[in-house]
Amino acid sequence: MTISHALLANTTSEETHGIIWQTVANAAARALINVPALAVSQAKVVRQADSGQLWIPLTTGVGATWLALTTLTAFDITSFGLTGSTLVLAGASVVNPAFAASYNAAATAVTLTDTEGHSDVIALPGTAFVSPHTFTKTAYGAVVSFTDSANGPPGTGSDTAVASITWGQNVFYGAAVDPGVYNSAFVTSLTATLKLAPAGTYAYNAGATQSCFFCTRTAFGLTTANFTVNGFPFACSKVAAAVAVTNANGVVENYDVFRSDNIGLGAFSLVEA
């Protein structure tokens, strides 16, 4: 007979005692076992050190009969995640994404499902495995989520954990001589950093004839008020709006182009917030 540790968690000694005896009574009724009507107040529950068992007296006196109850720890997925990138560029195809998982006990069954409708039985021990599918998204912010559903040893229950891949877009920034015309080729010539939002700190080093540029998705709705240097407003202007920019995967997105009002600013850090 087993009683899950989760069932006994956060209970007083008296409550635990009652749970155990109710379980014994129920089991006895099902198995047609005649459990002596010992008063709960007079019964003793003895836990053998480090044995993981509770011993309950069914009879008293010389040659008493005892019932052993094994306490179990609820099964838990202690970690689950992708071993590769969780943020990829819009238009990217993620082929056979790999996962790592760990459990507080050996899993007896593992299934991987995803929000694209796949369901795959994973070979045990289910600690390192792949999804046998390819996932491609072209929309910024698209997400595919994966659920690890695992069963523990008998009596310990099951657990689930979730990991996701998100498709983002680049922010482009850097110093360059002002071309006067702002197109996809110019924007993608700048330094690219893959982001889900433009907020962050960006390092510049502008030469004597160079302006500083910052280009990000029009959909973010940035204004010049979003930029600071050392806590002070950064003097800049939006010099182009909704420029069609094609990323490395062929996905087109509209970008706004911001340019410093001054050239030759040297090295500094620009904060976008």
Give the length of the chain: 273
**Confidence label for 65 from pLDDT (cuts 50, 70 and 90):** low
Last residue of a domain, one of 141, 167, 193: 167
Taking 90 as the threshold, does the pLDDT of residue 68 lie above it? no
Mean pLDDT of the chain: 86
Residues 140 and 199 in one domain: no
Give pLDDT tens digits for 132-156.
999 999 999 999 999 999 999 999 9
Taking 70 as the threshold, does the pLDDT of residue 120 lie above it? yes
The boundaries of the domain holding residue 55 are 2-72
**Confidence label for 267 from pLDDT (cuts 50, 70 and 90):** very high
81/102 Cα distance (integer angstroms): 10
Nearest alpha carbon to residue 70 among 90, 48, 101 = 48
pTM of the model: 0.77
Q: What percent of the chain has pLDDT over 70?
A: 74
CB 157, CB 75: distance < 8 Å? yes
Give pLDDT tens digits for 178-220.
999 999 999 999 999 999 999 999 999 999 999 999 999 999 9
Residues 182 and 156 in one domain: no
3-state secondary structure of 199: coil
Last residue of a domain, one of 124, 152, 167: 167
Half-sphere exposure in the Cβ direction for 154 (13 Å, CA): 3
Last residue of a domain, one of 53, 72, 91: 72
Helix (H), strand (E) at residue 15: helix 13-31
- In 3-state terms the chain splits into helix, strand, coil percentages (rounded to 5) of 15, 50, 40
